[in-house]
Amino acid sequence: MNSNENDFETIDTPCPVCRSTNTKVTQKILDLPHFSELWLFNLRCSDCHFKYNDILNLSVKEPIRYIYHAENVKDYSTKIVRAANGSIRFPQIGAMIEPGPNAEGFINNIEGVLRDIQGKARLLLRDATEEEEIKRVTDFIKLIDKYIEENLPIDVIVEDPFGNSSIIPFDSSKLETIQLTLEEAEKLKTGFIIFEDIKDK
């Protein structure tokens, strides 16, 4: 969350993990231009150090898919709003952020999301032992650098069965908004996998 914490309203809720009342829960409603209201929620427990962030979209409630076609430096500043049940895919590089029980909400721009994925790939690299895997992950890390440095055309797909995740486009003509049927929404992944596939490039 990159909002100023002073703007947040504080409420009292016991910690969901240890039941301590030494928890700080802050919430805020963001009203963004060309966009619906977002409810930001943050909980921190000073006893067990549990923390949780999430985002709810106060207007959209339907399963939805957004696709943004980024092709220049300004497009890379397009913001991704990811709620805990949302997924983010970059088909050109075969990277995906999936929802899961420990998933959290965040707002970040395309470049920032790619850097986060790159950071997770670096963690994979640290634990990698096989030469083939080390090469594959190293190539993937370099590929992300190339996309960010050269602002190569990249599609970002955001899907959310509850319509809480979204894209705040730099250029709204490059954004596709697709209402999903319930059948399509049921097929959305809810697993733990971060990388669906690291392609050889």
Binding site for Zn ion (CB under 5 A): 15, 17-18, 20, 45, 47-48, 50
Residues 6 or more apart whose CB falls under 8 angstroms from that of 82 comprise: 55, 88, 97, 105, 106, 107, 108, 113, 158, 165
> What is the rounded distance in angstroms from the CA atom of residue 103 to the CA atom of residue 122?
19
Identify which of residues 17 and 152 has a Cβ nearer to Zn ion in the complex: 17
**Helix axes of 110-127 and 131-150: crossing angle, nearest 10 degrees:** 160
CB of 10 to Zn ion, least distance (A): 16
CB of 56 to Zn ion, least distance (A): 22
CB of 2 to Zn ion, least distance (A): 25
CB of 51 to Zn ion, least distance (A): 9
> What is the rounded distance in angstroms from the CA atom of residue 137 to the CA atom of residue 5?
36
Identify which of residues 104 and 184 has a Cβ nearer to Zn ion in the complex: 104
Identify which of residues 48 and 193 has a Cβ nearer to Zn ion in the complex: 48
CB of 53 to Zn ion, least distance (A): 15
Give the DSSP letter string of 77-112: GPEEEE-TT-EEEEGGGTEEE---TT---EEEEHHH
Identify which of residues 40 and 43 has a Cβ nearer to Zn ion in the complex: 43
Nearest to 66 by CA among 152, 180, 183, 188: 180
Identify which of residues 50 and 52 has a Cβ nearer to Zn ion in the complex: 50
